[in-house]
Amino acid sequence: MIEINHEVKNDTLIINPVGRLDGLTSKKFMEDTEGLIKLNSARVIINLDSLDYISSEGLRSILTTAKTIKSQGGKFGLCTPLDGVREVLEISGFGEMLGVYESLELALSSV
């Protein structure tokens, strides 16, 4: 199960997925984020502080989202992953590729 919350702060869209991002939930994640990005794709941060688990399909969903934003000239970053999610990001190389910030405030000032 996943819930996608969002807010706009400092002209930046902050997407807050809650729960698990895996093969069962990645379609909902993609549909919801695509709709949000249509409203604001210039600066987007995915705040991972409530994401409990991410699978390879979840990683693919985040990568697709990042590529969409960057192809439209926007900026993208991830922030505050929980330990298990952080480990997956590091092992996969996605953390370095996409940019992971330790806090939302740091992400807001960098993206």
For 52-103, the pLDDT digits (tens) are: 999 999 999 999 999 999 999 999 999 999 999 999 999 999 988 899 999 9
The mean pLDDT value for 2-31 works out to: 96
Residue 111 domain flag: no
Domain count, the chain: 1
Q: Residue 95: its pLDDT value, please? A: 86
Nearest to 49 by CA among 15, 1, 25: 15
Q: Give the position of tokens 């939302």.
A: 104
Per-residue tokens: 86: 């952080």
Tell me how far apart the alpha carbons of residues 73 and 92 are, in angstroms, rounded to a whole number.
Answer: 25
- Is residue 30 in some structural domain? yes
Query: Would residue 85 count as lying in a domain?
Result: yes
Residue 60 lies in a domain: yes
pLDDT at residue number 28: 97
Domain extent at residue 31:
2-106
Instruction: Please tell me the pTM assigned to this model.
Output: 0.94
With respect to residue 66, please indicate whether it lies within any of the assigned structural domains.
yes
Do the domain assignments include residue 35? yes
In a domain? residue 41: yes
* Within-domain flag for 19: yes
32-55 pLDDT, tens digit each:
999 999 887 799 999 999 999 999
CATH number at residue 62: 3.30.750.24
pLDDT at 52: 97
